[in-house]
Amino acid sequence: METGLVKTTNFPPSAPGRFAAGAAFQPSAADYSSQAYRPSAADLRRAEYLLVIYPYGEVKDKLLEEQEQFSSDYGLKTIARNKPHITVAAFQAGEPMEDTLIRWIQRICNRHRSFDVSLNNYSGFPPHTIYLRVQDPQPFRELMQQLRAIDDFIRSSGCPPVNLITRPYLSIAGGLTEQVYNKAMPEYSRRTFHDTFHVEELVLLKRNHSFDACKTVNIFRLLPDTAQSL
């Protein structure tokens, strides 16, 4: 994936009680009245956005090796390989909505602590994707509960609902033919894989259409995990 310019978002500390860690994010009336987006005809052209988590370090290297091995084993030299990632949310929005969405997502991330993700063995979505399972989805569920606030904003602006990924996973091979999937899945169901990485940030990506390269729009830091900092 291509990487574009990253907007920096350094927001001042929230007022006590309103945005405390773990509290539900509720946009105020001022948020809606001052930032509500009413699309014009020109703005009806929407971009596609993905909110993702990237593994780093040794885990990222291992995942890239897994992707390369799959392509080699099944003769898929031209298979499109994305940078290993876990998708948290996917949505469409008009570009004039972008600044508001960035601010709201940052507020949400400002109240969520970093967390560990364990990847544990393989599964699949017939007939097209083989993936690694996320062992504990609870941190994602808590995050998605907060992200529902942006769904209200996006719907009110005439865009389709946000797709919040309730079953997080990390794809090893996607876009497969049914023949390749049926050949590979029995083997991968017998394989083992287990590794853990720490999530400190979420990344917002954007593309103009499904065949466009994704570019980085913004990086959202999570609160430090107190257990990690000791």
Task: Assess whether the previous peptide bond of 160 is cis (omega < 30° from 0).
Answer: no
Structure confidence by residue, pLDDT tens digits, 183-226 = 999 999 999 999 999 999 999 999 998 788 899 999 999 999 87
- Please tell me the total count of domains within the chain: 1
DSSP 177: -
Give residue 122's domain range.
46-224
One-character DSSP codes across 185-201? HHHHHH---EEEEEE-E
Residue 12 resides in a domain: no
Give, in degrees to the nearest 5, the angle at Cα 23 between 135 and 147. Answer: 60
Residue in 188, 220, 190 with CA at minimum distance from that of residue 204? 220
pLDDT class of 76 with cuts at 50, 70, 90: confident
Average pLDDT score, the chain:
83
Q: Tell me the C-alpha distance between 174 and 129, whole Å.
A: 4
Residue 130 resides in a domain: yes
The H or E element spanning position 129 is strand 129-134
Q: What residues are paired with 124 via a beta bridge?
A: 130
Inter-helix orientation angle 138-156/98-109, to 10°: 150
Structure confidence by residue, pLDDT tens digits, 3-28 = 333 333 333 333 333 333 444 444 54
Residue 66 resides in a domain: yes
Supply the pLDDT for residue 188: 97
pLDDT class of 166 with cuts at 50, 70, 90: confident
Structure confidence by residue, pLDDT tens digits, 150-163 = 999 999 999 999 99
Instruction: Report the CATH number at residue 198.
Output: 3.90.1140.10
